[in-house]
Amino acid sequence: MNDPETRLARLWALEEPPARDPKFEAAVAARIERRRLVLVVLEWSALAAAALTVVWAAWPILLSEWSVVGPVAAVAGAVGLAVWSIDLTFERLAFGGYEDFTRDSASE
């Protein structure tokens, strides 16, 4: 028991990395994604509530001046949609969201 090889094997056994548990890792990943989904839904809900409050408060003014405000609102909405879609595209590219679609499976 006291030979050097047995002691060395015991020492190396203490330094081995722990075994991985794929089911646990999948459960943790799913829980993290659910939490992110809840946070995104709460964020969008708060933004929608704020936007609805502003539109509700400004509706009498917007209705009376629609010939002036209408084209400006259409342009502002189009620009906002373009900025949002570009931001979403670059965010996915930055975090590798499209990597799976562009990677060649034969090269692996």
In a shared domain, residues 69 and 98: yes
* 77/94 same-domain check: yes
Q: What is the pLDDT of residue 96?
A: 57
User: What spatial distance separates the first Cα and last Cα of the chain, rounded to whole Å?
Assistant: 46
Rounded distance between C-alpha atoms, residue 62 and residue 54, angstroms: 11
Same domain for 47 and 72, yes or no, is no
Tell me if the pTM is above 0.85.
no
Q: Give the domain extent around 103.
A: 65-108
Q: Are residues 75 and 101 in the same domain?
A: yes
pLDDT in tens, the chain (108 residues): 578 888 888 877 777 667 788 888 888 989 999 999 999 899 989 999 999 999 899 888 878 877 887 888 889 999 999 998 888 777 766 655 555 545 544 444
